[in-house]
């Protein structure tokens, strides 16, 4: 991917530092520079002193569970909500002092689908082209090109309410690019899409990126997506930046290169300690119902020891799998929790759907 | 300016794509015009009036003839004959008949002797309208009886004329200015209130807010769009309502121009008022919940369905600042009295000032951020 150029210099195997991304070369132009930014809602701190820089033409991922503060961060960077403390410079303009210049430089896809359901695709794009002061002569060409890019040309006269969720997302992507912005913010563009549509959106984004000079900041809670798409990833949890690096470096920073997931029957006392003492094992996590997650530097050796120990102690192995570390493990490592669990739990108090929001 | 037009364009496309809004805002006032216009405007017909003749003399017969002529002509009531006053009074009480006339014994003799002849009218005075109608009717019958020179036939003809001259139209005409005003209000309530909050909740405004549109442009765009919808509703309902109520003045070009100016000013004033009320509201339930309250609070005190002169002081206080009052007064002056500009300029002035004030309070309250 395009990532290599950007990331090689910065990651270089360092363990990411809390709160500060690799600042990189100060002379290099940053598309986005966020410094100690804070957002408070009353007593509640939704974003707590986050700093990072995004370079020109980088794809930067903000990763975190529900309520981590991703949308709040994006909303501050896109001038949608006031900043409580700290600063953000977008394309060289301060979001608080010069919001209009920021707005002209950026395209934004909010988390909710906000295109007008009663209007056609083309009408939606046209209205936004006007709001962004795209000259009348260029509007048609710009819209034609975008519709082609997001593969919606033959639906251009269809009312938005007749489109599927994936198509509506693509319309939003086109809408955000109608004025050829330099920087593109996307808040969870793939949430709620089926796997095929998700892949389609990824491809679309990489395709668009290859056609235009574009810096992309994208939030997601899908680790595979961030891994595949992003040059660098910032993991946000409880409003704080807990890690920032390239996907590869983040994975490398987790001690252990393999994950063994095993489920046992009749676990004897002290079983977890025995697992921890096996060679190369760096951490063991009990996930309930006899299920253990073991991080190890040597998957096959640990597996052999584990099976021997089980046979020796008369413990029955119900399932066993060995994998390479993924960003999921990175997440567990930095936050102490499973992103998946967080998502399941969080779904109970996700904002209720707004009227008309449902595709 | 282009930004304002883009906002208006979006609202207009939406508006014409789902005509439900336009329909909804016109159907309610039209239904009200037709139902209230006919329900309240009419005279009472076919009420049942008991008649107990304890006299049986020639003068009692005259009364019975007068009653029969009412039944034949005006049909305000139809007589039901009773033998004893007690049954008649019981039937009034339980609602079988709406009133009873009792001709006491010796009535004819007293008439001849001019010795204070009396007949009694028993009414159910819990029903104000019915009892006063019957009283009026009986009063005019007794008056007629007191003028022995007038022939019953002439009495019949006079009564007949009153009925034919004014069929149900009068009250409907009186209601029409209120219905036009109400239609614009409903349009603003839905188009400027509910849809505005729905858009906000749906994140449509979030989409606008990341574009370089200024706060003033956004405020003007949203208000212009709301007002234009109300203007279209106002024009359509003025024409339909005038046809229904039989008001011909709309087809006079000079009056049509005055009407249009008043419709524009009313729409703008209503929309800025709604914008002020909704400027900080987030919850889509709020405009729906306050719809009924606002409607009652603004429409009824305006003199649209009942004269302001009949209100207690506090209600007159509301009427004095209620933009409805001025709109209704304006439409009445033009549509029903053809009173011209001189009669309505104070209404126009008030509506303009009202719009300016509400907008200048709402604009600073409008948030350019989420
Ligand atoms: N207007 C608000 N008032 C009070 N608290 C808020 C407000 N908006 C967000 N929050 C809180 O701030 C925190 C961060 O919210 P945010 O929407 O940024 O999370 P997120 O990472 O985008 O989550 P998701 O994946 O669900 O979109 C949450 O706990 C949320 O409840
Ligand atoms: Mg979010």
What confidence category does residue A290 fall into, taking pLDDT thresholds of 50, 70 and 90? confident
The pairing of strands B99-103 and B47-53 is: parallel
What does the block give as tokens for B127? 């029903």
Secondary structure (3-state) at B52:
strand
The pairing of strands A93-94 and A85-90 is: antiparallel
Which H or E run includes B76? none
Task: Say which CATH architecture domain B47-146 belongs to.
Answer: 3-Layer(aba) Sandwich (3.40)
Q: Looking at residue A315, what is its pLDDT?
A: 85
CA distance B159 to B143: 14
- Ligand 1 lined by A64 (C-beta under 6 Å): yes
What does the block give as tokens for B276? 């002020």
Find the ligand nearest to A72 CA.
Answer: 1
**What is the C-alpha radius of gyration for chain A, rounded to an integer number of angstroms?**
23
Q: Which residues pair with B250 in a beta bridge?
A: none
B1 touches chain A (CB under 8 A): no
Q: In this predicted model, what pLDDT tens digit does every residue of A65-97 receive, in sequence order?
A: 888 999 999 999 999 999 999 999 999 999 999
CA distance B190 to B187: 5
- Reference A172, options A240, A117, A215; nearest CA is A117
- Ligand 1 lined by A86 (C-beta under 6 Å): no
Alpha-helical (H) ranges within B203-252 are: 204-209, 215-245
Interchain proximity A103–B198, CB inside 8 Å = no
Contact residues, chain A to chain B, C-beta under 8 Å: 75, 78-82, 100, 103-104, 106, 108, 110, 112-116, 118-119, 123, 127-128, 130-133, 159, 175, 354-357
Interchain proximity B17–A75, CB inside 8 Å = no
What does the block give as tokens for B222? 């949203």
What does the block give as tokens for B128? 């104000």
Counting from 1 in the atom list of ligand 1, the atom nearest the Cα of A239 is 14
Q: Looking at residue A347, what is its pLDDT?
A: 44
CA distance B12 to A124: 13
Q: Looking at residue B279, what is its pLDDT?
A: 94
Q: Looking at residue A3, what is its pLDDT?
A: 38
For A226-252, what is the mean pLDDT?
Answer: 91
Q: Is A64 exposed, middle or buried (0-12, 13-18, 19+ CB in 10 A)?
A: buried
> Can you give the residue ranges of every domain in chain A?
55-79+93-234, 255-324
Q: Looking at residue B158, what is its pLDDT?
A: 36
CA angle, A97 as apex, A92 and A101 as ends, to 5°?
Answer: 50
What does the block give as tokens for A33? 């520079």
CA distance A5 to A348: 41
User: Out of A16-25, A106-115, B11-20, which region has the weakest mean confidence (pLDDT)?
Assistant: A16-25
Q: Looking at residue B33, what is its pLDDT?
A: 83
Measure CB to CB from residue B203 to each of A112, A123, A131 and give the nearest one.
Answer: A112
Q: Which residues pair with A292 in a beta bridge?
A: A262, A286
Could you tell me what percent of chain A has a pLDDT over 70? Answer: 86
Contact A74, A22 (CB under 8 A): no
> Can you give the residue ranges of every domain in chain B?
2-39+170-365, 47-146
Q: Looking at residue A28, what is its pLDDT?
A: 52
CA distance B68 to A161: 68
For chain B, 370 residues long, give each residue's pLDDT as a single digit of tens.
899 999 999 999 998 888 777 788 778 888 888 887 777 766 677 888 899 999 888 888 888 888 888 787 777 788 889 998 899 988 988 888 888 888 889 888 888 888 888 888 888 877 777 888 888 888 888 877 776 554 444 444 333 333 333 334 467 888 899 999 999 999 999 988 898 999 999 889 999 999 999 999 999 999 999 999 999 999 999 999 998 888 888 889 999 999 999 999 999 999 999 999 999 999 999 999 998 899 999 998 998 887 888 889 999 999 999 999 999 999 998 988 888 888 899 999 999 999 999 999 999 999 999 8
Longest dimension (CA), chain B: 97
Q: Looking at residue A90, what is its pLDDT?
A: 96
What does the block give as tokens for A172? 């939003």
- The whole-angstrom distance between A119's CA and the closest CA on chain B is 7
Q: Looking at residue A304, what is its pLDDT?
A: 87
| Cα(A192) to centroid(ligand 2), Å | 13
User: Would you say the CATH fold of A255-324 matches that of A55-79+93-234?
Assistant: no
Sign of CA dihedral A158, B7, A219, B281: negative
| Cα(A64) to centroid(ligand 2), Å | 9
Counting from 1 in the atom list of ligand 1, the atom nearest the Cα of A41 is 4
CATH class (in words) of the domain with range A255-324: alpha beta
CA distance B310 to B327: 19
- Reference A221, options A350, A59, A63, A46; nearest CA is A63
ipTM of the complex: 0.76
Contacts of residue B151, defined as CB under 8 A and 6 or more positions apart, other chains included, come to none
Give the mutation target among A42, A67, A339 for probing the ligand 1 site: most ligand atoms within 8 A of CB.
Answer: A67
pTM for this prediction: 0.78
CA distance B349 to B360: 17
For A154-174, what is the mean pLDDT?
Answer: 93
pLDDT at A20 over 70: no
Q: Looking at residue B41, what is its pLDDT?
A: 61
Q: Looking at residue A2, what is its pLDDT?
A: 39
Contact B98, B124 (CB under 8 A): yes
CATH class (in words) of the domain with range A55-79+93-234: alpha beta
CA distance A272 to A294: 10
CA distance A123 to A132: 14
Q: In this predicted model, what pLDDT tens digit does every residue of A259-283 receive, in sequence order?
A: 888 888 888 888 888 888 888 888 8
CA distance B287 to B195: 9
Q: In this predicted model, what pLDDT tens digit does every residue of A126-161 receive, in sequence order?
A: 999 999 999 999 999 999 999 999 999 999 999 999
Interchain proximity A108–B210, CB inside 8 Å = yes
Q: In this predicted model, what pLDDT tens digit does every residue of A191-236 receive, in sequence order?
A: 888 888 888 888 889 999 998 899 999 998 888 888 889 999 999 9
For A168-177, what is the mean pLDDT?
Answer: 94
Q: Looking at residue B172, what is its pLDDT?
A: 82
Q: Which residues pair with B82 in a beta bridge?
A: B52
What does the block give as tokens for A78? 């896109």
- Reference A285, options A349, A324, A335; nearest CA is A335
- Ligand 1 lined by A67 (C-beta under 6 Å): yes
* SS3 of A310-358: HHHHCCEEEEEEEEECCHHHHHHHHHCCCHHHHHHHHHHHCCCCCCCCC
CA distance A227 to A327: 7
Torsion of CA A271, A273, A279, A281, to 10 degrees: 100
Alpha-helical (H) ranges within A215-326 are: 223-229, 247-253, 271-277, 299-313
């Amino acid at each position: 991917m395009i990532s290599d150029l950007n990331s090689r210099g910065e990651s270089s195997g360092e363990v990411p530092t809390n709160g500060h991304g690799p600042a990189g070369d100060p002379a290099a132009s940053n598309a986005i520079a966020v410094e100690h930014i804070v957002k408070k809602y009353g007593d509640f701190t939704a974003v707590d002193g986050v700093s990072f820089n995004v370079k020109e033409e980088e794809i930067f991922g903000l990763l975190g569970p529900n309520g981590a503060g991703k949308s709040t961060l994006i909303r501050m960077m896109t001038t949608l909500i006031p900043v409580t403390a700290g600063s953000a410079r977008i394309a060289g303009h301060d979001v608080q002092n010069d919001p209009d210049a920021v707005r002209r430089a950026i395209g934004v896809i909010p988390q909710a689908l906000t295109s007008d359901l009663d209007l056609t695709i083309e009408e939606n794009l046209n209205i936004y082209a006007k709001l962004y002061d795209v000259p009348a002569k260029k509007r048609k060409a710009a819209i034609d090109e975008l519709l082609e890019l997001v593969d919606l040309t033959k639906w251009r006269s269809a009312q938005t309410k007749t489109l599927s969720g994936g198509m509506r997302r693509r319309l939003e992507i086109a809408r955000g690019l109608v004025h050829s912005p330099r920087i593109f913010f996307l808040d969870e563009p793939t949430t709620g899409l089926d796997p095929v549509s998700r892949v389609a959106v990824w491809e679309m984004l990489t395709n668009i990126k290859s056609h235009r000079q574009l810096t992309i900041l994208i939030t997601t809670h899908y680790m595979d997506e961030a891994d595949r798409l992003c040059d660098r990833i910032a993991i946000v949890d409880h409003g704080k930046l807990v890690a920032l690096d390239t996907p590869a470096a983040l994975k490398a920073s987790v001690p252990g290169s393999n994950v063994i997931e095993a489920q046992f029957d009749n676990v004897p006392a002290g079983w977890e300690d025995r697992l921890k003492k096996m060679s190369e094992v760096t951490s063991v996590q009990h996930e309930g119902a006899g299920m253990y997650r073991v991080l190890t530097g040597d998957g096959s050796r640990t597996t052999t020891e584990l099976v021997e120990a089980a046979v020796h102690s008369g413990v029955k192995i119900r399932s066993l799998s060995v994998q390479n570390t993924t960003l999921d493990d990175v997440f567990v490592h930095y936050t102490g929790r499973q992103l998946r669990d967080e998502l399941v739990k969080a779904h109970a108090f996700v904002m209720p759907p707004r009227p008309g929001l449902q595709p | 300016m282009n930004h304002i037009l883009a906002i208006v364009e979006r609202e207009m496309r939406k508006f014409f794509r789902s005509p439900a809004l336009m329909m909804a805002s016109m159907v309610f006032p039209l239904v009200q015009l037709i139902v209230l216009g006919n329900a309240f405007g009419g005279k009472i017909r076919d009420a049942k009036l008991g008649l107990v003749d304890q006299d049986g003399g020639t003068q009692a017969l005259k009364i019975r003839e007068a009653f029969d002529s009412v039944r034949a002509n005006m049909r305000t009531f139809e007589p039901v004959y009773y033998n004893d006053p007690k049954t008649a009074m019981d039937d009034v009480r339980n609602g079988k008949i709406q009133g009873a006339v009792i001709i006491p014994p010796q009535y004819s003799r007293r008439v001849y002797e001019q010795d204070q002849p009396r007949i009694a009218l028993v009414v159910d005075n819990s029903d104000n309208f019915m009892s006063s109608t019957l009283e009026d009717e009986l009063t005019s019958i007794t008056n007629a009886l007191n003028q022995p020179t007038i022939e019953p036939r002439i009495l019949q003809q006079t009564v007949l004329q009153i009925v034919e001259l004014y069929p149900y139209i009068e009250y409907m005409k009186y209601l029409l200015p209120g219905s036009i005003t109400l239609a614009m209000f409903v349009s603003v309530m839905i188009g400027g209130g509910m849809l505005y909050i729905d858009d906000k909740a749906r994140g449509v405004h979030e989409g606008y807010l990341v574009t370089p549109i200024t706060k003033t442009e956004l405020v003007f765009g949203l208000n212009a769009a709301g007002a234009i919808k109300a203007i279209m509703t106002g024009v359509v309902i003025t024409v339909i309502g005038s046809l229904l109520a039989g008001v011909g003045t709309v087809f006079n070009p000079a009056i049509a121009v005055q009407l249009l100016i008043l419709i524009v000013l009313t729409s703008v004033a209503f929309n800025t008022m709604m914008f002020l009320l909704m400027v900080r509201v987030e919850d889509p339930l709020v405009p729906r919940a306050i719809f009924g309250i606002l409607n009652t609070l603004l429409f009824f005190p305006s003199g649209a369905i009942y004269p302001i002169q009949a209100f207690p002081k506090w209600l007159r206080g509301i009427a004095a600042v209620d933009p409805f009052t001025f709109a209704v007064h304006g439409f009445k002056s033009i549509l029903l009295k053809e009173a011209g500009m001189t009669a309505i300029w104070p209404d126009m002035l008030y509506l303009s000032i009202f719009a300016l004030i509400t907008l200048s309070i709402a604009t600073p309250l409008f948030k350019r951020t989420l």
